[in-house]
Amino acid sequence: MDAPRTVTIGPYRLPSNVVLAPMAGVTDRPFRMLCRRFGAGLAASEMLSADVRLWDTPKSRRRMDHGGEPSPRVVQIAGFDPSMMADAARRNVDAGAQIIDINMGCPAKKVCNRLAGSALLQDEALVAQILHSVVQSVAVPVMLKTRTGWDRDHKNAIRVARIAEDSGIQALAIHGRTRADLYQGDAEHGTVKAVKDSVKIPVFANGDIDSPERARQVLRETGCDGVMIGRAAQGRPWIFDDVNFFLEHGESRAVLALEKVRAIMRAHLEDLYAFYGEETGVRVARKHLSWYFRQHPGQEALRNRLVRIETPDEQLSTLLELFDMGV
């Protein structure tokens, strides 16, 4: 049995050391709130560009919407220019962010072409300037999310972590792959452990944590303060409850009853319609539906019907029909 560790970031003592990873296109406000209800200790927003000229779009406005979200609200920003990053951080704090998370982990082309995300790892002097500039610009804690390095020959996460700590960064999340790895191969947590051993600030291990057992193993192997879960929460937001329970009691939670899953999915869909409006809400819901059903093989025909539906009423009633058939 591993007693859950308490993680404190600035003035915030997290309710759990198991947190949701930021995922563009996934961790919108409804999903963040769902994961928090299931016990995620933190749930960062989808990445927001530090270029404030890009903010006047429905997509960016939604990414900055934190109405009703529990504290501490974390907003992730990505960019390459220290003063733009500082400005973006300040504006988000004014809009309700209580923790700023800096993205130096994303390998996406659109970000890296502009030397942002994990591409920044190539330029440690610039990393230092960005981190320093953001930390100085806001009164709230700043976190950094990054990878183990640029590529396997340039794993500089330890140096970056020390730069971060010296710059006043208050927590780190390390994805156990390099930028060049993209998502290939298995996450490598040896470097994550080395990072944890080299700094005093809290470190979250991230990458391929997809079960309570794996979470415990990574916590034990790395000595990290917490774990960060991304893809495994897609279609399974209750994973946080499963992991918290397992870490606390050393045994597995009972499998969720189908009627509970039905109620969770129904409420999630209704939140999506309310947040995005009907048309976009139905489209976004399709993604989540396919993740939820990934765990229930069979009934392909009905499921295919479900993901083509255009209206909320039909989407919900077909979902409920599926459950009535026992999925």
Ligand X SMILES: Cc1cc2nc3c(=O)[nH]c(=O)nc-3n(C[C@H](O)[C@H](O)[C@H](O)COP(=O)(O)O)c2cc1C
Residues 165-184 that bind ligand X (CB under 6 A): 175
Report, in Å, the least distance between residue 145 CB and ligand X: 5
**Alpha carbon distance 288, 27 (integer Å):** 11
SS3 label, residue 55: coil
Q: Whole-number minimum distance, CB 147 to ligand X, in Å?
A: 8
The amino acid occupying position 222 is: T
Task: Find the residue with minimal CB distance to ligand X.
Answer: 230
**Binding-site string for ligand X from residue 32 to residue 71, where x marks contact by CB under 6 A and - marks none:** --------------xx------------------------
Q: Which of 137, 167, 206, 244 binds ligand X (CB under 6 A)?
A: 206
Q: Among residues 86, 93, 229, 322, which is the contact residue for ligand X, using CB under 6 A?
A: 229
Catalytic status, residue 106: yes
Q: Which of residues 232-261 bind ligand X (CB under 6 A)?
A: 232
Pairing of strands 8-9, 12-13: antiparallel
Site string for ligand X, 2-21 (x = CB under 6 A): -------------------x
CB nearer to ligand X: pick between 30 and 312: 30
Report the alpha-carbon distance of residue 1 to residue 7 in Å, rounded: 18
User: Which residues ranging from 137 to 166 are in contact with ligand X (CB under 6 A)?
Assistant: 145
Could you give the CA distance from residue 277 to residue 271 in angstroms, rounded to a whole number? 10
Residues in the chain, overall count? 327
Q: Report the 3 state secondary structure along 225-278.
A: CEEEECHHHCCCCCHHHHHHHHHHHCCCCCCCCHHHHHHHHHHHHHHHHHHHCH
Catalytic residue among 35, 106, 112, 224: 106
* 65 three-state secondary structure: coil
Q: Which residues are catalytic?
A: 106
Which residues here bind ligand X, judged by CB under 6 A?
A: 21-26, 46-47, 76, 103, 105-106, 145, 175, 206-209, 229-232
